[in-house]
Chains A and B, each alone.
Chain A
């Protein structure tokens, strides 16, 4: 049974159809990278799966159970967690408060505040600092930690390298690699190299649709780039 299934997903952004008739099956433990130009619909798709954005039509199933009707906080309890674009930390709260809040859904699992600090040691000395005072890399680490606190079975990450220095991105991905053990991950990543290094499966989106969906080892950079820009011959 697939872990996460999307069936005929249509998502509107105002009057614009941001996601058009998307079908996707993800198996447990897969790491899927969503690539594509700005405005291709990647963020909207993640937000729709997390419940932050309303579905126009279609169905989302987790372990076979339909979660399309659940609100976002209910989906977190079901095991779907999103690290949103732009981090969206609670600015007036400290790192620790943000993390503690992340655990509010009360799901069973091994993540605790202490373990998060182990995984992201650069956060430990900033545990009482207000989120607004953190550097980009620290904010990203906190946001990921906050999502991990819900012990998700599906972790979604939206553009975690956005606005970060290359060194900071390295750090974040290093930590992610250490923590990902067995979690199903869907991430939106603009940097193709990183996406190919980190993911087991690459999906390219263009104008709301999937134009490429291949296992990471079977696809070349050139093929992805072609699909990215909409040149023919990219679809599988």
Chain B
């Protein structure tokens, strides 16, 4: 799909290698931006409700399918379709929290894991039932945007869609931070996350705050699903890999930090790219390995353990 190569002056092999590395790095940054998009909703839900929603990926795929139906059946451009799907998914989030998650969270920390896992399975298989096993994509419906790119000096290409995704995710995360810090609803959501009992005593409707948070998280999921469909393909069982990527990006960047999902996403993408360059099967392996290493270092090499290790050495 690359445009005809213009004639260039001969460059030395090492510079070419450097350019290729740079190109991979740029691609990784943009991929990281996508990971942040799918991850920020997960991170947001976790910070606010201490729930990891295992149906998160499946809900993104659901959004993608909704946009697909709107595009293929009604000819609605996916970007326009988002005007319908984002509020729809937000409503789904509200209902989910109000009637499913709120109840299961009261049963303890573990129950939401089981409930959302079951939900994910139901969603995946319902989508399979409805849409079949074929992989789909939203790329045909966004015209030139799916492959259009800018050319940078040195022959590097940067896709317009990729830029759009990165810019969107940065805006979304920035907006979320502002929302949490500056609005009364945002403050209520943070307070409910810190101490739901006291939140009520102060006058906060904790259930409404949680439902609002879930709605916001699902809105980001809708965006993520849209972007996935535009930049790649999806099928009914794509939810699980999306969930794992989102989770890995969240953890690498630090649980509870929204900007961390961007950092984590980029690190994850870079690790995957490095893995792919080492071995043909190495893409996913590289990502998982990075995740496990970050976990290891975070668990064992925090300040206290390092100090204790030094003390034992001296003794």
User: In the complex, is A directly touching B at CB under 8 Å?
Assistant: yes
Q: A residues bordering B, Cβ < 8 Å?
A: 50-52, 71-73, 76-77, 81-82, 84, 88, 90-93, 97, 100-102, 104-105, 146-147, 150
A141 to chain B, nearest CB (A): 16
**Given A73-B206, A100-B184, A101-B187: A91 and B194 interface contact (C-beta under 8 Å):** yes
Most chain-A Cβ atoms within 10 A of its Cβ — which of B194, B195, B203, B204? B203
Most chain-B Cβ atoms within 10 A of its Cβ — which of A82, A90, A92, A93? A90
Contact across chains for B191 and A72 when beta carbons are under 8 A apart? no
Contact across chains for B202 and A104 when beta carbons are under 8 A apart? yes
Contact across chains for B201 and A76 when beta carbons are under 8 A apart? yes
CA distance A101 to B205 in the complex (A): 12
Contact across chains for A84 and B191 when beta carbons are under 8 A apart? no
CA distance A100 to B190 in the complex (A): 13
Residue of B nearest to A104 (CB): B203
A153 to chain B, nearest CB (A): 14
A52 to chain B, nearest CB (A): 6
Contact across chains for A76 and B203 when beta carbons are under 8 A apart? yes
Cβ of B148 under 8 Å from chain A? no
Q: B residues bordering A, Cβ < 8 Å?
A: 184, 187-188, 190-191, 194-195, 197-206
B127 to chain A, nearest CB (A): 37
What residues of chain A lie closer than 8 Å to B187, measured between beta carbons? 93, 97, 100-101
Q: Which of B184, B188, B190, B200 is in CB contact (< 8 Å) with A72?
A: B200
Contact across chains for B188 and A88 when beta carbons are under 8 A apart? no
Most chain-B Cβ atoms within 10 A of its Cβ — which of A73, A97, A146? A73
**Given A90-B191, A92-B190, A93-B191: A102 and B203 interface contact (C-beta under 8 Å):** yes
Q: Which of B190, B201, B205, B206 is in CB contact (< 8 Å) with A82?
A: B201
CA distance A89 to B206 in the complex (A): 16
Can you list 14 A-B contacts with CB-CB less than 8 angstroms, sorted by A residue number? A52-B197, A73-B199, A73-B205, A73-B206, A81-B203, A82-B201, A88-B198, A90-B198, A92-B190, A92-B194, A93-B191, A101-B187, A101-B203, A104-B184
Identify the 4 closest CB pairs spanning chains A and B, nearest first.
A76-B203, A105-B203, A72-B200, A88-B198
CA distance A51 to B201 in the complex (A): 8
What residues of chain A lie closer than 8 Å to B197, measured between beta carbons? 52, 88
What residues of chain B lie closer than 8 Å to A97, measured between beta carbons? 187
**Given A90-B190, A93-B191: A101 and B202 interface contact (C-beta under 8 Å):** yes
**Given A73-B203, A150-B203: A104 and B188 interface contact (C-beta under 8 Å):** yes
Contact across chains for A88 and B203 when beta carbons are under 8 A apart? no
Contact across chains for A51 and B200 when beta carbons are under 8 A apart? yes
CA distance A105 to B187 in the complex (A): 13
Residue of B nearest to A152 (CB): B203
CA distance A199 to B306 in the complex (A): 55
Contact across chains for B194 and A73 when beta carbons are under 8 A apart? no
